[in-house]
């Protein structure tokens, strides 16, 4: 993909550390190109503790928006002039919109992206029992979105204190990590928000805990077909991979900054090609 850069080109960016393997440039640049915008999206490696000068720089350079990834999500939440309710609750911002008056508006698009991805896949978790595995940033964003949408939530994590903290955000139940197989059996949706399945054969729950009446959702997108996703599918469960959420959370950023509907199909195909090139060793 070649992008014409000129004196009028506008810039959006992601800040993080490390950031060189971020898929956001692939998603955003595909979108801007499809939308015919003279915009470009780049990645800035910003060390821990340097979120403030990065935001000052974004203002000074007139960036259109910033995506924020680890380790800056909490610091940026503190530094924004205004936060969306979910971002305030999570104390985490992954999307900064630079307003014309120079003020910064912070949001977290992960939770809404997750719900939209489920909807795209034909699922409506409102009123359903959902087990969330993990209690980190993604698990919390997903839990806040699911609870807001009326799901009955249970959270389990290998550290009980972390599960309790996540559950307290939304009034969810917790279950001990060692009892997650029973909780999975009882749930209609089982959501893996841990990195289990990235690069090893490990399963976040025993495969016997899932059957044809259930939906297994993996947030992991590298690989797209995790061992658990394959095993759940073989048991007859319905499965949803991590690609939809990845695309939807970026698409919400594109929509916030451009004011245009995001070209979802173009973004999906660009990131699919990129992921398959990583898988086959054609991308670092
Ligand atoms: P995170 O903040 O580091 O949280 C990870 C959670 O998983 C923590 O509760 C952690 O427990 C737990 N965990 C890690 N390794 C584990 C293991 N071996 N066994 C049991 N629990 C384990 O990470 P995150 O940002 O929430 O991301 C979690 C996963 O979701 C990652 O794979 C990420 O790539 C994926 N993700 C996908 C999307 C998407 O758009 N599809 C978006 C965000 C994240 P401890 O606290 O004890 O370490």
Pocket of ligand 1 (CB under 6 A): 110, 134-139, 157-159, 162, 193-196, 198, 219-221, 242, 245-246, 249
CB 218 within 8 A of CB 230: no
Atom of ligand 1 minimally distant from the CA of 163? 9
Q: Which of 73, 140, 180, 268 is catalytic?
A: 73
What's the mean pLDDT in 69-78? 96
Q: 64: which residues sit within 8 A by CB, 6+ positions away?
A: 10, 11, 12, 39, 98, 257
Q: Which pTM was predicted?
A: 0.96
Q: Which of 21, 3, 16, 86 is nearest to 271 (CA)?
A: 21
Q: Give the DSSP letter of residue 200.
A: S
Cα–Cα distance for residue pair 268/246, rounded to 1 Å: 9
pLDDT tens-place string over residues 13-37: 999 999 999 999 999 999 999 999 9
Taking only the tens place, the pLDDT of each residue in 112-149 is 999 999 999 999 999 999 999 999 999 999 999 999 99
Give me the mean pLDDT over the 73-81 stretch.
97
């Amino acid at each position: 993909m070649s992008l014409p850069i000129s004196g009028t080109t506008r810039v959006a960016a992601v800040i993080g550390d490390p950031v060189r393997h971020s898929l956001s440039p692939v998603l955003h640049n595909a979108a801007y190109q499809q939308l015919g915008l003279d915009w470009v999206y780049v990645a800035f490696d910003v060390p821990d503790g340097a979120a403030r000068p990065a935001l000052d720089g974004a203002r000074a350079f007139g960036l259109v928006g910033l995506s924020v990834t680890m380790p800056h999500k909490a610091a940026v939440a503190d530094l924004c002039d205004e936060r969306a309710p979910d971002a305030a609750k999570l104390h985490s911002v992954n999307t900064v919109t630079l307003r014309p008056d120079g003020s910064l508006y912070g949001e977290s698009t992960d939770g809404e992206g997750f719900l939209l991805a489920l909807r795209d896949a034909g699922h409506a978790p409102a009123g359903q029992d959902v087990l969330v595995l993990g209690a980190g940033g993604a698990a919390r964003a997903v839990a806040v979105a699911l609870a807001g949408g009326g799901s009955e939530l249970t959270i389990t994590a290998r550290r009980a204190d972390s599960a309790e903290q996540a559950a307290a955000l939304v009034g969810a139940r917790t279950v001990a990590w060692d009892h997650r197989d029973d909780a999975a059996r009882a749930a209609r949706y089982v959501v893996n928000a841990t990195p289990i399945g990235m690069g090893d054969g490990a399963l976040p729950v025993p495969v016997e805990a899932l059957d044809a009446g259930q939906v297994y959702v993996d947030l992991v997108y590298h690989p797209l077909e995790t061992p658990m996703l394959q095993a759940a599918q073989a048991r007859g469960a319905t499965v949803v991979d991590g690609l939809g959420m990845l695309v939807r959370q970026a698409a919400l950023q594109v929509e916030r900054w451009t004011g245009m509907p995001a070209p979802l199909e173009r973004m999906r195909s660009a990131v699919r090609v990129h992921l398959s090139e990583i898988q086959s060793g054609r991308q670092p």
